[in-house]
Amino acid sequence: LWLETELRLAIEQEQLELHYQPQYDLNTGQLVGMEALVRWNHPEKGMIPPGEFIPQAEETSLIIPLGEWVLNTACRQIAAWHAMGISPIRMAVNISAVQFYRIDLAQMVAKLLDHYGLPATLLELEITESVLMDDVEAAAETMNKLTAMGIQLSIDDFGTGYSSLSYLKRFPISTLKIDRSFINDVTINEQDAAIALSIISLAGHMGIEVLAEGVETVEQLSFLQRHACQYGQGYLFNRPLPAKDIERQLKTAH
């Protein structure tokens, strides 16, 4: 349980930090948003990726204070960039099931937006398919509240969960994020290509936006452009970067 104890300290002592990965319109090249990704800058172990502590944070409910820290920091960063004269950019934040079901997420987010004087349209919350299927009624209620406030909701890792497509009718979803496992071999594997194209088409027919995750090569980019996938993010454009490195890009992009 060292991890639980240390993670509790990490949240209190601000050992966590957010990195930001830009998202682009693949046709115009315009920067349209960023995804905030948490890292743990451990005093002895160095930078620990979220895959190594988010699951434990979820099991121990530490994800609740951690998730609040992430949302607060993301909102504070948007406000700080705005104060620097950078035009407002939408920020996507990953949300766990625990946060979705155990706290009043809409109320917490409303307080943060109010505190930093931010329009809700600048915030996007990423949830996975499995989150939606845990408790369909409760999920619909929370999502409707968030959407009524003007917050965007996206489905992360789309295509990898165990859900049925019928939830796309029930929930107010703004964006499908095609999981990077389908993008990785999209130019060489016909099955991956078929799945990616089906998701692009599904989103188009439903009037939902679509973003490809994990774009790493120019071949993948041109495939996505050819097949009218509107948005993308990935190492081809940028790795997730600390705020200072992102700032430099934002200043030149506007």
Of residues 176-235, those binding Na ion (CB under 5 A) = 179, 213
CB atoms under 10 Å from CB of 205, counted, come to: 8
Buried b (16+ CB within 10 A) or exposed e, 15-42: bbebbbbbbbebeeeebbbbbbbbbbeb
Of residues 129-168, those binding ligand G (CB under 6 A) = 156-157
Extended beta strands in the chain, E state: 16-25, 31-42, 46-48, 90-94, 123-128, 152-158, 175-178, 209-212, 231-232, 241-242
Contact between 156 and Mn ion per CB under 5 A: yes
CA distance 130 to 126: 12
Contact between 35 and Na ion per CB under 5 A: no
Question: 6 or 146, CB closer to Mn ion?
Answer: 146
Q: Which of 10, 20, 21, 173 is close enough to bind ligand G by CB under 6 A? A: 21
Q: Which of 32, 112, 157, 233 is close enough to bind Na ion by CB under 5 A? A: 157
Q: Which does 176 bind (CB under 5 to 8 A by kind): Na ion, Mn ion, ligand G, none?
A: none
Contact between 240 and ligand G per CB under 6 A: yes
Question: 21 or 163, CB closer to ligand G?
Answer: 21
- Taking the CA atoms of the chain, what radius of gyration do you get in angstroms? 18
Size of the site for Na ion (CB under 5 A): 3
The answer to whether 179 and 185 have CB atoms below 8 angstroms apart is: no
Contact between 213 and ligand G per CB under 6 A: yes
φ, ψ for residue 125, nearest 5 deg: -110, 130
Contact between 230 and ligand G per CB under 6 A: no
Of residues 50-79, those binding ligand G (CB under 6 A) = 50-51, 54, 67, 70
Closest CA to 23 of 217, 214, 251: 214
Positions that interact with ligand G (CB under 6 A): 21, 37-38, 49-51, 54, 67, 70, 94, 96, 156-157, 180, 213-216, 234-235, 240
Which residues bind to Mn ion, rule: CB under 5 A? 94, 126, 156
